[in-house]
A and B are shown apart, each in its own frame.
Chain A
């Protein structure tokens, strides 16, 4: 079974500053990794995913993430945030042999002017 730990529950950040959201996973097998965003009172939207290949993954809205197998991490970054990036961010993992997507507890990002 796999599990996901998001190391920061809340991240306040000023507009135009960079942000990094940390995610670590544990699994006995290779995994697929995802980041989802949930804007207030909305559903989940896929930001990016890592399935295989290049460890640097680019997603929507200027986000990117780096898969680090040795550190079992998949941290999400954005070089310059906007007020509209205020949301809940979820890291998730799935086993390629399984159909279950397991989520971390989420990180609340609040962008201030």
Chain B
């Protein structure tokens, strides 16, 4: 069983579309995250949820909206996609700040 699973693995879409990426973890962790990896491979946190409550919201356009229906799921919805949104998006989970498990990533390409 995959500990942190993301779907889809690849996503190609046109500018202006709305898309969602789903994430599920089966580790029983309380905290989940979304990270963005840009074309230079730099990783930056976008959001974090702890027990379904938003605790970290970095400077991210409000076109990005995370949703956590329960503590095992954290989805990312993106409205009005732009070329600059092309990146690899990683979901992660942790039990406190001492151990993080990452999903395999979703490569988003906006054309």
Contacts and interface: CB of A to CB of B under 8 A. Distances in A.
A21 to B, nearest CB: 14
B41 A49 contact: no
B99 A49 contact: yes
Given A32-B97, A99-B94, A100-B56, A44 B102 contact: yes
A102 interface: yes
B56 A43 contact: no
Interface residues of B, number: 25
B103 interface: yes
A56 interface: no
Contacts of A34: 100
A51 interface: yes
Contacts, number: 61
Interface of A: 32, 34, 36, 38, 42-46, 49, 51, 88, 90, 94-103, 105-106
Nearest to A38: B41
Contact of A43 (B31, B42, B50, B104): B104
Contacts of B41: 38, 88, 105-106
17 contacts: A34-B100, A43-B103, A43-B105, A46-B99, A49-B98, A94-B100, A95-B97, A96-B98, A99-B31, A99-B50, A99-B55, A100-B97, A101-B92, A101-B94, A103-B42, A103-B43, A105-B40
